[in-house]
Structure 1
Amino acid sequence: MKRYLFIILLAISFSVQAQSNVANYKYIIVPEKFSFLKQVNQYGLNTLTKTLFEEKGFTVYFDNTEIPQEIAADRCKALVVELQEKNSMFVTNVSILLKDCRGAVVIKSNEGKSREKEYNTSYNLALRDAFTSFNDFNYVADQPTTATSTVPLPATTNAETKTVPVPVDQITTNKTEQQEALLYAQPVSNGYQLIDATPKIIMTLLKTSIADCYISNNGNANGIVIKKNGNWFFEYYKNNVLVSEKLLIKF
């Protein structure tokens, strides 16, 4: 149990440490055409990139539009987006790089993947998959925060209260119902991605040194996927409670 808890905390700490590098930036600039493509906004990737970062609270501009004086006077106040492509015969691979004014990489996403045959679909799915690296990050009113590092403050009352810590081994496990949909495991370079019949990427699994144990993220929570008694479970902490969701996976 302690080993699983350590893996969860390790996965969360990696996410927080990497994304904290973006904390000093409010503005992001997206090129009108990515270097590996031939046309402006081909496959809608530039527009999609702009939209995804705007949803995270950033102020985003295309590089072919008039940018505000604040950025024009000091380009080092903005990060520039670059997409890195590394395709194989059957898989579209895309990574997101954020670079500073000197061209140094501030943060690089995990490699997003898609096995769709149509480029328009595969590039969009791969980009969205890569963007899951930013799931726990939001920029709010000049005060960037990460969901994994935000701790809710307890409500205050007039009466004196005492906080009693709960031992780890006494934390209640809350098991939810098994997911109805069968999830298919697609191999990727460092593990698997779980997709449904749509196909839609539901969760990513990263290999660990422990058999049948993966560091995982479903877009809302970081945790682990482990095999117990012949069944797979996604386990993570929510409000200091260990949640264990049963999964139906076909490898």
Structure 2
Amino acid sequence: MIACLVLVNTLLGTAQESLNGYKYVVVPEKFDFLKSEDLYQINSLTKFLLNKEGFVAFLEGELPEEAVYNPCMVLRANVLNDSNMFTTKMKVTLSNCYNQVLFTSEEGRSKEKDYQKAYHEALRDAFQSFKTIKYSYNETISKSKPEQIKIVKEVPIQSVAVVPSEEAVVMTEHTLYAQPTATGFQLVDMSPKLVMKLYRTSVKDVFIAEKDGMNGLFYRSGNEWYFEYYEADQLKKYSISVKF
């Protein structure tokens, strides 16, 4: 029993430390299981409860300029709905800019029949887990993160080339073209061959990217677009020419 308590406390401490390095939390205006924005005021309630627990939470479109230009200082909140016809069941997750889930709440439940009452009760119940974290933003932790990142190389994806080394990179021949999808865009070459999938985030011009089984960030800085991802614990960054 003592060993279990020590393990639980250790895990909670690790979760708390990892969350404390993030200054803001963004709440989407619509969760996937809802038919419209802020239906039953679930998104607004999520924002309210996050602020109540000490976070600085915003709905999409409300983020301060600092957060827009520094997306990796922002956590993304999500509410998962696993309800059945008898019980409303919800969990809350917090993810970082690389779509890694850093925290998942315990399942909140409600037996209420009215949808709004049931969702609100289950959501508040799920937020009881947040009381074990006691979040408090730590600027020292936040500032230490970039120092741990080593950028291996930064090369433009402009012409076909293979770097003859253990870190070989195959680059595309042509400018990529963006085609709209339900969740963002897909980038294709002139074939047209699918090169990359982009998924919208709450931050303008910042996407979750998927390319050749790798996940990373695709974002605009000035007039340039960049793709960043981790490989063997090292951050790689590429400049990509895209026509939207």
TM-score, length of structure 2 as denominator length: 0.52
1:52-106 deviation digits (Å, cap 9, x = unpaired): 11112221111133x2221111111101111111111211111111111122212
Number of aligned residues: 141
Task: Answer yes or no: is 1:13 the counterpart of 2:13.
Answer: no
Counterpart of 1:127?
A: 123
Counterpart of 2:54?
A: 57
Contact 1:32–1:40 (Cα < 8 Å) also in 2: yes
Alignment of 1:214-229 (within 5 A): none
Contact 1:25–1:77 (Cα < 8 Å) also in 2: yes
1:79 is paired with a residue whose SS is: strand
Question: Which of 81, 85, 93 is the aligned partner of 2:81?
Answer: 85
Counterpart of 2:31?
A: 34
Deviation of the 1:133 alpha carbon:
1.2
Query: How many Å separate the matches in 1 of 2:85 and 2:125?
Result: 19
Contact 2:92–2:126 (Cα < 8 Å) also in 1: yes
- Structure 2: 5+ residue stretches without partners: 141-244
The percentage of counterpart residues that share the same residue type is 35
Counterpart of 1:102?
A: 98
Query: How many Å separate the matches in 1 of 2:86 and 2:16?
Result: 30
TM-score, length of structure 1 as denominator length: 0.51
Counterpart of 2:176?
A: none
The one-letter code matched in structure 1 to 2:84 is S
1:135 is paired with a residue whose SS is: helix
Task: Answer yes or no: is 1:44 the counterpart of 2:54.
Answer: no
Contact 1:19–1:134 (Cα < 8 Å) also in 2: no
Query: How many Å separate the matches in 1 of 2:71 and 2:102?
Result: 15
Alignment of 1:1-251 (within 5 A): 4-65=1-62, 67-140=63-136, 142=138
Contact 1:56–1:137 (Cα < 8 Å) also in 2: no
The one-letter code matched in structure 1 to 2:70 is D
1:149-200 deviation digits (Å, cap 9, x = unpaired): xxxxxxxxxxxxxxxxxxxxxxxxxxxxxxxxxxxxxxxxxxxxxxxxxxxx
The one-letter code matched in structure 2 to 1:47 is S
Cα RMSD between the aligned structures? 2.2
The one-letter code matched in structure 1 to 2:66 is E
Contact 2:12–2:133 (Cα < 8 Å) also in 1: no
Deviation of the 1:138 alpha carbon:
3.0
